[in-house]
Structure 1
């Protein structure tokens, strides 16, 4: 091996050592050893960094990122005196960054992100304050569990081109010394708790990428702050409390490719300076206080966008019909504004479209069937919460990539077209709060990936299809409430082991509750399930939002869940005609939060093991025919905050517990219960029972109800007094039946005469 390189033989020897330490998991395709470089990234090394690695004083490039390396970086790293680039990112290293790293004078690139340093950022700056600070160009410490405040020591790295400190717990203000980083082109401070203003950024004349989103920056940003940022291409500063004050005629000195200013105060006027940005690919200005119409010159820019988010403002006017809007696969989110009029024509290249929560009206047919023979790449379509009406046409055959469809909360009528079954990738289907009728189309059984079916508050009829249980094994949410479904609850639904929300309330279902409900295994565990709900990326790589949200009724309130939807587990079968007993198997569902069986005709007792529902927050068994006592185990439900047992036939004392005694007394009305919180505290019944006035007495431990005893005795005596002689005496029996025959003849004669009279009188 020469003094300036690692020989091939020595590299093989080193590889064999690494293989022994990693149980032979080395990915040989990702390993290169050329001259003074070692690239061993993206393997499965799960040991500490071997000490002999630091003996190669001529090593220039060391890349061990994306492994499972553990332990600390020893001070022996100072021996890598020729090192130019060290990449140890995406491992499980911990401890502190050694001070000796600052003595590597040739080092230009340090990447230590996505490890567990748990160190103050000022300590790292101090460790790197040696000769390395003079030439360092790239410093990546993002997502490294760092804390503390930025200090003026940051200004010593005057040749930094890339500085990434995002996704840590850094707090405090941004130091003025950041203005000394005259070569800086990429700055990522996102996802910290940095406070202050943008005063010092105006000095970074070479800055091209600035990411400071999700901090606590506040104050006013003026034109002067951008005066020297002529090279800026990416500005990501959302989730701050900054206000942009520029003149209507301002023309920025830069031409941006990516702009994300979500949650800034840009309004009330639409920022006209955006129309000067001819190179924009991505634009996010959601929730920025704009309450103005969009200028026509802005719509002319949309053909260049790959991502457009102007949601959660008060923008009004009509969306123009621009058939070629967005020429490449694109994301468009314009939801929660005040747009009105008809649905626009949208390019077939749009993959994500959210026009929900508008005042859009009219038919959906032209929008859906536009260029019928042209393949559509739409994956997510949300037109919910509008004023759209009419029937759905059979225009779904060219939308085979669609996996999320929300048409809820509109005024659609008619039946669901059979062609919706061609959406074989469909996962989320929301058709709630419309006036759809007839039966659910059987073609939906082809959509085997369905996770959500929400058709609540429509006019669907028929029985609940058994194929839902047979074919839709991935179903997590089944919401059919407030329709006209009838017949039994099919036992096939018990095959839905992933089901977490089952709402069949306000229908016309009858029969018993299936005992197989214990097969809902996702409801039987307190763990958060592997929910298949996804996040959509905003196209810039900086933000993501939940694709799915769901309204559910818990504790009598209609609540909407999105980011925590995977934790919600409820069963609501209320307002039907269900009969029989509450199956004991329901107590196996230990992850349930809400159980509502109210307004049915259920009988029997409350299951004794109801206390096994340890996480339940709401139980409603009101307006049934339940009898017996409240199980003692119910007092152990520590999360229970809503319990309604009113209008049943329950008796006895209410069990003592903080939860039960804190409930409103109306939740127990219509029963024969006593004890707190009711005013009848059971004292008289417990101390001085009036045995003489009871309908039963106790003898030798047995309860005798004399009413039923005398009733049975009377039946026996009456039977033998009246029918006994007929059975024992043949002559009496013959005379009795002759008497009955005679009376029958007389009755028939009366009927015949009456019929003739009516015929004569033409009655």
Structure 2
């Protein structure tokens, strides 16, 4: 599981942005709202021209725009300057809210060039209309008094106009979530008053212009989700008022500039999912306000600078999927505000620093897929807030005694120790670890029986002990795992009947399998005829029983009732007889693998596109996707 799915809600969270937007627009509307004697004819004509370009308004956002009425006093979303009578505020967003309502509307059409005639306009908000398409008219560059331009969440195309050089009073420019293309023009940086610039989730390309250094009033810069290339400009360090910087999900390359350390007010830094290389600059210590730092999914290399331990407000540090090397700096242990660490899939070596035991607010520690060695420092037992610990696929050499028993005294919700060298029986202290819900001990050298006490881990929702050497029957106590929804036992030497797994209890709405993999074992006794009627099996999406050669029996007809099933693997299970009607006709079925059995008869009619390979090695089967039965008999 990656950091984006585990970490707390991001500061970029759309709901937070929308709330911020709502409150701001309400304040602006209250500021600009005023009555005048009559609507200026130039402004009336411009607004009616915009309305004429609207092809669909199902929610009636422009219903009150009646040519016979005064636009300043009667048209919704229009406010005029009482002194001049000119339109100062045009605000018809698709998404709006009040103390007791949320309104979500859409408008289809284009932006009329006549909007450029609203020469006194200070606020233009046509955001979240969803189906507003076509280019941004270059005439908008004539709006020399414009301070707030909000066109995000539409379907606008083409380049950002060069004429925006005329918008020298602009404070907010929000063009995110459109289909704008070409390079970011220097005109975007014409206003020295610009405080917030959001061009994210478009199709913009080219490099970030070095002239961005002129925007010394800029507080928020969001360019994520484009196809930007080139390097991060060195002059980014001149934006000393910057609090939010998001350049993620682009194709930016080169090194992170040393000047980034000048951003002492920066609270949010997202550089993830780019092509950045080189080391993390030691100047990062200058970012004293930094709270959220994400540089994952790049090609960063070299040692992690010890100066990273001088970030007094850092909460979340995400550096996964890079090429970072060397030992983890002990100085990280001084980051008292740290709540989440994601360092997985790097090349860190050495031991886990004992100073990590000082991270008293830490909730997630993910050091998986590195080259770290053991033992796990006992100082981590002091982390009473720690909920998720993932040390998987590190050579921790835990054979000497297995995972430390003090883990049972923590409040861990998730414990991942796959591929760490654990040997011998399942540690019996797990029977006391009542808080654990997600447990992964796969790809180790576990041996012996699946113990009866496993049924006492009643909080388990996810259990993966695959690719080990466990050898036993499934204990009857397994039925007590009433919250278990994902189970992977494949690649062991488990034997006997599957009934204790299939017929376990549930605790509605929990405990119904989503995924179940018992393949590559030695189970016998066939699949129970009532498998499709068992409560634990009624929501399973992926069921893999393949390569249990002694399983035998028929495919139960009740499997046709497992309506959520998408993947069914029954290859090499010694099955015989026919394929029951309905089993292959499940709506979501995409994989049906019964290779290498002794099935016979006509393959039932089905709508799913299933390849012939999934039926290979059953000499008695015929019918689509195999050759027709008549042809086979003639052959």
Higher normalized contact order (CA 8 Å, seq sep 6+, divided by chain length) = 2
Q: Where do residues 341-352 of structure 1 align in structure 2 (5 Å cutoff)? A: 341-345=326-330, 346=332, 347-352=335-340
Q: Structure 1 residues 639, 128: CA separation in 2 closer, same or farther (over 3 Å shift)?
A: same
What residue number does 1:575 align with?
520
TM alignment of 1:633-712, pairs within 5 A:
633-637=582-586, 640-655=589-604, 657=606, 662-664=611-613, 667-669=616-618, 672-673=620-621, 681=629
Deviation at 1:434, TM superposition (A): 2.2
Bigger Cα Rg: 1
Aligned to 2:146, what secondary structure does the other structure show?
A: coil
Q: Secondary structure in 2 aligned to 1:633?
A: coil
Match of 2:345 among 357, 364, 380: 357
CA positional deviation for 1:210 = 0.9
Counterpart-to-counterpart distance in 2, 1:243 and 1:168: 24
Distance 1:303 1:71, change over 3 A: same
Question: 1:683–1:291: structure 2 CA closer, same or farther, 3 Å change rule?
Answer: closer
Contact 1:394–1:418 under 8 Å retained in 2? no
Q: Is the 8 A contact 2:213 2:235 kept in 1?
A: no
Q: What is the aligned partner in structure 1 of residue 305 from structure 2?
A: 320
Q: Which residue of 1 aligns with 2:260?
A: 274
Distance 1:421 1:141, change over 3 A: farther
Q: 2:543 aligns with which of 595, 600, 619?
A: 595
Distance 1:625 1:432 in 2: 31
CA distance in 2, matches of 1:686, 1:108: 81
Q: Distance in 2 between matches of 1:579 and 1:109?
A: 72
- Tell me whether 1:404 sits opposite 2:388 in the alignment: yes
SS in 1 for 2:407: helix
Aligned to 1:437: 423
2:278 counterpart of 1:285: no
| Cross-structure match for 1:698 | none
* Cα shift at 1:314: 1.8
- What is the CA–CA distance in structure 2 between the aligned matches of 1:570 and 1:162, rounded to whole Å? 50
Residue of structure 1 aligned with 2:107, choices 100, 119, 130: 119
Structure 1 residue 356 displacement after superposition: 1.2
- Residue correspondences, number: 559
Aligned-partner SS, 2:311? coil
User: 2:445 matched to which residue of 1?
Assistant: 459
Alignment of 1:484 with 2:473, yes or no, is no
| SS of equivalent to 1:391 | coil
Q: Is the 8 A contact 2:260 2:284 kept in 1?
A: no
1:583 deviates by: 1.4
Match of 1:384 in 2: 368
Alignment of 1:485-504 (within 5 A): 485-494=470-479, 496=481, 499-504=484-489
SS, match of residue 397 in structure 2 = strand
Native 8 Å contact 2:482 2:510 kept in 1:
no
Counterpart-to-counterpart distance in 2, 1:239 and 1:251: 22
Distance 1:181 1:464, change over 3 A: farther
- Structure 1 residues 137-536: aligned runs within 5 Å: 137=123, 139-148=124-133, 149-155=135-141, 157-199=143-185, 200-223=187-210, 225-226=211-212, 228-244=214-230, 252=238, 255-296=241-282, 298-322=283-307, 324-345=309-330, 346=332, 347-364=335-352, 367=353, 369-370=354-355, 372=357, 374=358, 376-414=360-398, 415-424=402-411, 426-441=412-427, 443-444=429-430, 450-464=436-450, 470-473=456-459, 475=461, 477-494=462-479, 496=481, 499-514=484-499, 517=502
3-state SS of paired residue (1:238): coil
1:491 and 1:651 map into 2 onto residues whose CA distance is 34
Matched position secondary structure for 1:433? coil
CA distance in 1, matches of 2:356, 2:214: 47
| Deviation string, structure 1 residues 356-394 (Cα, Å, up to 9, x no partner) | 111112222xx2x2174x452112221111111223243
Q: What secondary structure, in the 3-state scheme, does the structure 2 residue paired with 1:603 have?
A: coil
**1:604 matched to 2:545:** no
Measure, in 2, the Cα distance between the counterparts of 1:144 and 1:125.
18
Does the C-alpha gap of structure 1 residues 135 and 668 become closer, same or farther in structure 2, counting only changes over 3 Å? same
Displacement after TM superposition at 1:118 (Å): 1.5
Counterpart position of 1:556: none
SS in 1 for 2:158: strand
C-alpha distance in 2 between matches for 1:146 and 1:169 = 6
Q: SS in structure 2 opposite 1:411?
A: coil
What's 2:529 paired with?
A: 584
TM-score, normalised on structure 2? 0.75
Q: 1:501 to 1:128 in 2, by over 3 A?
A: farther
TM-score (normalised: structure 1): 0.63
Q: CA RMSD in A?
A: 4.3
